[in-house]
Amino acid sequence: MFKTLLNRLNGTPTSDPLSTDDARLAMAALMVRVARADHDYAPSEVAVIDALLMQRYDLDAAQTAELRAEAEELETNAPDTVRFTRLIKSAVPYEDRNAVAESLWRIVLADDKRHHHEDSFLRLVVSLIGVSDRDSGLARQRAQAD
């Protein structure tokens, strides 16, 4: 799974849909990339990533830890963010992308610090997955309210 997805990220774009496992891994790796945007991969961010993965994919703690570990390795070895977002955009239906944006904002806000690198990076990411600035702002407000 890891090698297949990494090859897909490094290769030429394809119209073949992602498998469920690859879509999960791509989403988890994007979450890790967002958390690392400020160069501080805080334990609170890891905890939020784990909670989001458990909830989104109905995983137990061991499955979640395994998925996150693979995602951390993929994120480290993967090319630019545009390719990640292209995969996410193709795998996640439009109506579900606001929930993705909200999840990403939860990760950014997990350490109670808003860093300008994270803010600008997340603005780029949500735009690339097809979420408007307005909807991203609403997603951020929902994330902050929790």
Count of CA atoms in the C-beta half-sphere (13 A) of 13: 10
Longest distance between any two alpha carbons in the chain, whole Å: 40
At residue 92, the pLDDT reads 85
Mean pLDDT of 48-61: 96
Provide, rounded to the nearest whole percent, the portion of the chain with pLDDT above 70. Answer: 88
Q: What is the pLDDT of residue 6?
A: 44
- Per-residue confidence (pLDDT) for residue 15, from 0 to 100: 53
pLDDT at 87: 82
What is the mean predicted confidence (pLDDT) over 4-10? 48
* All structural domains of the chain: 2-11+19-145 (1.10.3680.10)
Gap between the Cα atoms of 36 and 31, Å rounded:
9
* pLDDT for the residue numbered 136: 93
Task: Compute the distance between CA of residue 132 and CA of residue 134 in angstroms, rounded to an integer.
Answer: 5
pTM for the predicted model, two decimal places: 0.85
Residue 107 and residue 36: Cα distance in Å, rounded?
10
Q: Tell which wins on pLDDT, 3 or 58.
A: 58
Q: Residue 123 in contact with residue 105, Cβ under 8 Å?
A: no
